[in-house]
């Protein structure tokens, strides 16, 4: 089965500093990777995805992620953090089960951006 790991429960950064939220994956075949963000008591919002092509993927709200095949990583990055970026971030990988497609999620990383 496909899986992703988010090694950090929480990441703290100061506003204006660059941020990185880590994700590593374990898949058989080519990985389809995703990042979602969740604000308190809200559903998940799609940020970006990697299917194929350029290793650097640009997404919503100024976020980007770098696909690294040799390190099996897909870290989420942003050059300059905002307080409003504080939220729960999920990495996910497409998982095929009995012919249907779903997503397998990491446990989430809480990002706290201080003023």
103 sits near another protein (criterion: CB under 8 A)? yes
User: Footprint of another protein on residues 69-98 (CB under 8 A)?
Assistant: 88, 90, 94, 98
Contact 5, 24 (CB under 8 A): yes
Retrieve residue 64's tokens: 């980007």
CA distance 101 to 94: 7
CA distance 33 to 52: 10
Which one among 29, 43, 53, 115 touches another protein, defined by CB under 8 A? Answer: 43
Give the count of residues interacting with another protein (CB under 8 A). 23
Nearest partner of 23 among 48, 40, 1, judged by Cα: 48
Shortest distance (Å) from residue 32 CB to another protein: 5
Instruction: Kindly tell me the sign of the dihedral angle through the C-alpha atoms of 47, 50, 53, 56.
Output: positive
58 sits near another protein (criterion: CB under 8 A)? no
Shortest distance (Å) from residue 112 CB to another protein: 14
> Which positions lie near another protein, rule CB under 8 A?
32, 34, 36, 41-46, 49, 51, 88, 90, 94, 98, 100-103, 105-108
């Amino acid at each position: 089965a496909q899986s992703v790991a988010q090694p950090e429960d929480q990441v703290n950064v100061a506003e204006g500093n660059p941020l990185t939220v880590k994700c590593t994956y374990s898949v058989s075949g080519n990985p389809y990777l995703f990042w979602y963000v969740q604000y308190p008591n809200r559903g998940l919002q799609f940020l970006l995805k990697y299917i194929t092509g350029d290793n650097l993927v640009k997404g919503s709200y100024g976020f980007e992620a770098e696909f690294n095949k040799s390190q099996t990583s897909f870290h989420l990055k942003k050059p300059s953090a905002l307080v409003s970026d504080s939220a729960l971030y999920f990495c996910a990988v497409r998982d095929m089960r009995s012919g249907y497609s779903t997503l397998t999620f990491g446990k989430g990383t809480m990002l706290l951006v201080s003023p």
